[in-house]
Structure 1
């Protein structure tokens, strides 16, 4: 009797149906693919091409299948690892019982490849159950490989599971994966009903160079720069004078990174108020904060009342404003969060108490559609001062990020950012 394998037609049939687009996810995906959302790599068991389409502009390099990843040299920048195969290559799909058995046989090799990624980067699991046997199997293999307690602790801090729960309250908790032989890995579990909040938390410094270009640099230059073979042929410097004093033996000059010293006054003068406000939220200023405090903020404070400067003061705690500095700049050194609360219109401070809004959760306050954004900002300012838990500050930060582009020039929003700036930088009492 001839045995006909159903694997090939089944794989091809699934591949033809895998490219699915859901319009209701558009807003969520727009945040995920924002230039401010920093994602170095994606490990997925999905077969479809959604990720390739989402990150098409970033030109992510795709590794298809376990074997492709095992015998390659990933750079961990702008890469997608499709460990269960891809619909573009039906033979690569992990689909049948035999496929899974073969996959598990190679688990230790895959775990060794993934270990360096897991140790160097926070790994966020989205769309997977903590009971998923494939995930548990890989994590167990990784755990067994580590005898170094320092590495185990670092891995624990890097593993974050996102559990989606419709209509549930947002929460962050510590739990653990338990395996056989009393092996376990502590992890962080985040529960939410909206992945957008997670994606917003990943936002930070917008890359000045496209991620795929950085990957190419690492592929082509990184090993050369570190190796001894191209001695006197490749030269890296941050000082132009060093280059000019070189010899003709240098065939290629490369400069990587940003020199932190010697900023020109012209460059610092280019820092504007929006950049200062953005830094309070995203931490994305490209210049030295102490130099901005000395050279730029006094001018900005001539025309702006609500300027979040506490992070800059922390960069140079011994700095004292000059006597002829703008009054608003000098006043900000003596402000704390309650000083900014006193600037809120008396009517909104009274209505906040009259409505007993302090009894609500911060999410209820944010989602309340009865308030305009300006009024909500004033209510949130009063709320967060009396309820400044780490969780509430995190939720407020997500809200500030969400509203930044549309509200950054609104006085109520700017005041709220100043309150947040005081709280996170531990400025609790006036000088």
Structure 2
């Protein structure tokens, strides 16, 4: 079955289960479990031989027990640093002793892992693929990962959950860091002892994850077919679910393992049998490929009756209702009868409820997120808005994503007119500046004219578009007119076609070709 057809069969928002292979695919500085332990051993011993000696003790039938290897390496690492207080790892010792002063006992080994993986660099060759991955997030319920780094939550902009936080979570829009995270080294799970504690204390967490596995499609990214995490999950599920029931069959249909196969462009999903010791053979779906773009494309195009973003909102409101307090709640079919201050959960039909997810102001505030996600469903709302001629509204980028808007031409004309009025006859008083920082720090440019100086810098191609994009993404107050002016000029320069450039050039008297 083609991956397109497989994804089209989803009736609920998929959950991604992300492993080491994803960090290895996209990051310059990432490690396999073996590679991480080997690197740390070499740092304290200056040779690979010490690590090989440890590794040789924990091999059985060609398989190495890395949790036991990690335990022994942790002991050695901590001892070496303890005996060399102010040596190469002085900063690690400093953190360790500061923690101990506060009664917090986190091993030097885990502090070092946290620092080693706390920053990352994305591979330049994978930027396009990552852009496509961002488009997937609008359709993803949540993400589960065994990775320590923060790459996946940074890309998805989901809330990070570690340890017992998982129990108190909103399942939609969350990243479950089940093996810990660089931001909390004390909860990193890597040694044999860590896994024992995990198995003893995390029964409730496993139960919550099991609920996700039962009700949502699960897509494994960054694992191979023999990975212990995959087998562990299947073992957990089919311990509670009889493998011969319709429910078990539904779960199997929803499981997809994406296994990396260098250079392959294969788009086909096939059945694969996994031999589980102590269990009967379990069949799952697998696609073996290097064509992740094809997978991301169809996940991004998935259209379900209710968006994942809407479900996140509902769950947040319901959580507030459960929490009690002074929240006034009305569940109604008549929105007009409600007071402005009430929290609303509207239940009814399209005939009785008018519902708009975002205002024009919110669309502009969330402009880059919408563009990143290529959220064409949300942008259908634009035709419902009454955008006045005096409003700044960035239609060019939105119209590239949502091709069926009836108001595109009208809104382009409005945007062209607004930009034209902004730059027509303006003296280019900051032509010596080629970046935003210099304009903001130039005391000869009054505060009220700095925004216009940046506008002219964009229009005249002195300020690069990626520079203004970064500036706008981090803009402190996205409700201001200054932000909207800059956004409209950026949007026009980034997405306008030649015909519109000619129109605006004539309107403004400025060459914009």
TM-score (norm 1): 0.51
Of 173, 177, 190, which residue of structure 1 is paired with 2:274? 177
Of 175, 199, 223, which residue of structure 2 is paired with 1:128? 223
| Paired residues of 2:114 and 2:183 also in contact (CA < 8 A) | yes
Of 306, 316, 324, which residue of structure 2 is paired with 1:219? 316
Query: 2:254: which partner in 1?
Result: 158
Q: Are 1:113 and 2:208 matched, yes or no?
A: yes
Q: Are 1:27 and 2:122 matched, yes or no?
A: no
Q: How far apart are 1:82 and its partner, in Å?
A: 0.5
Query: 2:298: which partner in 1?
Result: 201
Q: How far apart are 1:187 and its partner, in Å?
A: 1.4
Q: How far apart are 1:94 and its partner, in Å?
A: 0.8
Alignment deviations for residues 241-266 of structure 1 (CA, whole Å, 9 cap, x no partner): xx64x9x9x984624478434899xx
> SS of 1:161's equivalent?
strand
Of 94, 100, 107, which residue of structure 2 is paired with 1:8? 107
| Paired residues of 1:37 and 1:202 also in contact (CA < 8 A) | no
Q: How far apart are 1:192 and its partner, in Å?
A: 1.5
Q: Give distance in 2, aligned partners of 1:36 and 1:92.
A: 26
**Aligned alpha-carbon RMSD (Å):** 4.3
Q: How far apart are 1:4 and its partner, in Å?
A: 7.5
Of 49, 61, 69, which residue of structure 1 is paired with 2:150? 49
Query: 1:330: which partner in 2?
Result: none
- Superposed, which structure 2 residues align to 1:369-408 within 5 Å? none
Q: Are 1:86 and 2:177 matched, yes or no?
A: no
Of 96, 100, 104, which residue of structure 1 is paired with 2:191? 96
> CA 1:406–1:155 in structure 2 vs 1: closer, same or farther (change >3 Å)?
farther
Q: How far apart are 1:50 and its partner, in Å?
A: 0.8
Of 150, 159, 166, which residue of structure 2 is paired with 1:61? 159
Query: 2:140: which partner in 1?
Result: 39
Structure 2, gaps ≥5 residues long: 1-74, 79-105, 355-374, 381-494, 498-513
> CA 1:212–1:173 in structure 2 vs 1: closer, same or farther (change >3 Å)?
closer
Q: Give distance in 2, aligned partners of 1:53 and 1:131.
A: 28
Query: 1:297: which partner in 2?
Result: none
Q: Give distance in 2, aligned partners of 1:163 and 1:174.
A: 13
Alignment deviations for residues 388-416 of structure 1 (CA, whole Å, 9 cap, x no partner): xxxxxxxxxxxxxxxxx999xxxxxxxxx
> CA 1:104–1:222 in structure 2 vs 1: closer, same or farther (change >3 Å)?
closer
| Paired residues of 2:264 and 2:291 also in contact (CA < 8 A) | no
Query: 1:260: which partner in 2?
Result: 350
What is the number of residues matched between the two proteins?
260
| Paired residues of 2:144 and 2:176 also in contact (CA < 8 A) | yes
Q: Are 1:186 and 2:287 matched, yes or no?
A: no
- Superposed, which structure 2 residues align to 1:284-363 within 5 Å? 284=377
> SS of 1:46's equivalent?
coil
Q: Give distance in 1, aligned partners of 2:348 and 2:130.
A: 31
Q: Give distance in 1, aligned partners of 2:241 and 2:156.
A: 33
Structure 1, gaps ≥5 residues long: 265-281, 288-404, 408-431
Alignment deviations for residues 360-418 of structure 1 (CA, whole Å, 9 cap, x no partner): xxxxxxxxxxxxxxxxxxxxxxxxxxxxxxxxxxxxxxxxxxxxx999xxxxxxxxxxx
> CA 1:113–1:263 in structure 2 vs 1: closer, same or farther (change >3 Å)?
closer
> SS of 1:94's equivalent?
coil
> SS of 1:183's equivalent?
coil
